Amino acid sequence: MAPDSNRPEHPTLSTNWLAGAQKMDADAWHRLVSVFGPIAYRWCRASSVPASDAADVVQEVFATVARGISDFERQKSEGSFRRWLATITRSRTADYFRRAAKQQ
C-alpha cells in the first residue's frame, strides 16, 4: 500500500460515503479502503509493525471496521471517523504485538 501523493493527508468521510459503507455498498467500501487503507498502514508502520506484517494488520483493522460500521455515529463533521479508525488500528496493533510475544 504505497502512499498516493494525490490524496489529502487528512481525508474526511462524507455523509453519503459513510451511508454507502454502512449499507455495505461495494463502491463505498472500495473507496473507503483505498483512501484510509494507506493511512492505517502508515500508523501500523509508525507503531513498529514490520512491513511484512503491516498489510495483515490493516486487513484486521478493516474487518473490525466492517463489523462495527453499522453502529458508527459521527460525533462531528470532520475527523471522527479517522479517530475511530485510529483507535481500531491501535487496538489491532496491540493485538499483533501480544500474539508476537506469545509466539516467542
User: What grid cell was written down for 51?
Assistant: 512491513
Rg (Cα) of the chain, in Å, rounded? Answer: 14
Q: What is the mean pLDDT of the chain?
A: 88
Kindly report, residue by residue over 32-79, the tens digit of the pLDDT: 999 999 999 999 999 999 999 999 999 999 999 999 999 998 777 556
| Cell 501500523 found at | 44
Decide if pLDDT at 10 tops 70: no
